[in-house]
Amino acid sequence: MNKVNQICCIGAGYVGGPTMAVIAKQCPNIKVTVVDINQKRIDQWNADDLDNLPIYEPGLKEIIAETRDRNLFFSTNVDKAIEDAEMIFISVNTPTKTYGKGKGQASDLKYIELCARNIAKVAKTDKIVVEKSTLPVRTAEAIKSILDNTGNGVQFEILSNPEFLAEGTAVEDLLAADRVLIGGQETPSGQAAKDTLSWVYEHWLPKERVLQTNVWSSELSKLVANAFLAQRVSSINSISALCEKTDANVAEVSRAIGFDSRIGSKFLNSSVGFGGSCFQKDILNLVYIAKSFGLNEVADYWEQVIIMNDYQKRRFAENIISTLYNTVSGKKIALYGWAFKKDTNDTRESAAIYVADLLLEEQAEIIVYDPKVKEDTIYNDLDYLNSRDPKENRRLLKVVNDPMEAANDAHAIAILTEWDEFKTLDWNKIYSEMLKPAFVFDGRRILEREKMDEIGFKFYRIGES
């Protein structure tokens, strides 16, 4: 087994940044260079002000402070980093295609292909190329073909090493990963490459947590893991709708079923709907792959997870409208939270975007407060949906920096992200600022019913009648 001295990672995003920071921390003898074509992102990673890193993750800035310019470097010089590294991670974005064949379902692999072509062009010595991005099954084959046919005659070994971190807990997840998955060819050189990457992770993880498989199992396992997790959320959300029609309480149902060790208690929190850049994208990709093999029943089965999630977001917005006497036109509704979950500034596919869009369709006036999301991001998210003139989004929706200001004269507050600070707000004061009757719609089940009822709110919590 060979050791490596220099690693490079192409893509300085939500995965590339934290993953490489943790590798640099745990492997001080390896030089890690993270490269990106986005100059602004690299400048933010290199900036003195660690409170302005391009992504927010608890514990990350401390690691950056320790490792940056010691053995962790951020740069836009992609070619140099490729040339110097013995191992290259590809961690670029693989969004759902918005054009052509597979539009709306398949993953867009253009950034991956560009990386492969660039590596082929630049590499002068043998490299291990690691797929860190989430990719459809058999992508490694395509990468290998590009590298072998257009390269400079050097040897490439392709590994699949999908990332399982969740945002908001990325550092924790990386430092104490349940498992690391490494897929590679079942040849002597493939085995050697798998062992080299295992050696990197074994700097801090027990050997038995590093699983080696063939490439295709590894690629598929990543899609399946996300599909299973999202399926649990959609399953409990489907039950939340039933609970709202009966006297059952979804939290009690979750608890009761979660005690069964075969089911387990995690990922059973009913919510306004799952968001994030991964769940929907990866399930759509799974659906597309199943369809492309003619497995229509398999595709339909998994697609239902997304249909249920869309239903949940719509149901939440429609409940606000019907509760506010079937009209929200000109009514002020405060949205608490825009990020897709707490402890991240990431808003990709956040339920808040869709809830806001439905309320704006009804001409509601919306005031958003989120502790980490910037105003520009919120407007970009809405404009991207293309539902109305961007000017209209700015006229009807305002962003504020203070939850009290958002509540001022509001008819209703909807909690869309489970930020801890929402639990400890002065809800008595908020009540006094609002118009009466004052409605609160808790899409994250973070507030106590008794307390909210006592203050005088008309309180709605998802999954309760």
Residues that bind ligand NAD (CB under 6 A): 10-16, 35-38, 41, 78, 91-94, 111, 114-115, 133-134, 163, 165, 167, 277-278
CB closer to ligand UDX out of 163 and 357? 163
Could you tell me which stretch among 157-165, 195-203, 204-212, 369-377 binds ligand UDX (CB under 6 A)? 157-165
204 interacts with, out of ligand UDX, ligand NAD, none, CB within 5 to 8 A per kind: none
DSSP strand pairing (6-10 vs 397-399): unpaired
Neighbours of 72 (CB within 10 A): 24
**Least distance (Å) from ligand NAD to the CB of residue 249?**
31
Give the dihedral sign, CA 36/381/301/110.
negative
Q: Which residue is nearest to ligand NAD (CB)?
A: 13
Under 8 Å between Cβ of 38 and 216: no
**Least distance (Å) from ligand UDX to the CB of residue 269?**
3
Chain positions 206 to 235 lying near ligand UDX, rule: CB under 6 A, are 226, 229, 233
Helices (H) and strands (E) in the chain, counts: 18, 14
111 interacts with, out of ligand NAD, ligand UDX, none, CB within 5 to 8 A per kind: ligand NAD
Please tell me the distance from the alpha carbon of residue 432 to that of residue 425, in angstroms, as a whole number. Answer: 13
Q: Is 442 in the site for ligand UDX (CB under 6 A)?
A: no
**Least distance (Å) from ligand NAD to the CB of residue 160?**
12
Q: Is 268 in the site for ligand UDX (CB under 6 A)?
A: yes
**Least distance (Å) from ligand UDX to the CB of residue 265?**
10
Chain positions 273 to 292 lying near ligand UDX, rule: CB under 6 A, are 274-276, 278-279
Q: Is 167 in the site for ligand UDX (CB under 6 A)?
A: yes
φ, ψ of residue 264 to 5 degrees: the values are: 85, 155
Q: Is 9 a catalytic residue?
A: no
φ, ψ of residue 204 to 5 degrees: the values are: -140, -10
Please tell me the distance from the alpha carbon of residue 90 to that of residue 67, in angstroms, as a whole number. Answer: 21
Q: Is 340 in the site for ligand UDX (CB under 6 A)?
A: yes
Q: What stretches of 143-273 adopt beta strand conformation (E)?
A: 156-160, 180-183, 210-213
Residue length of the chain: 465
Helix (H, G, I), strand (E, B), or coil: what is residue 128? strand
Neighbours of 119 (CB within 10 A): 27
Which sequence positions are flagged as catalytic? 278
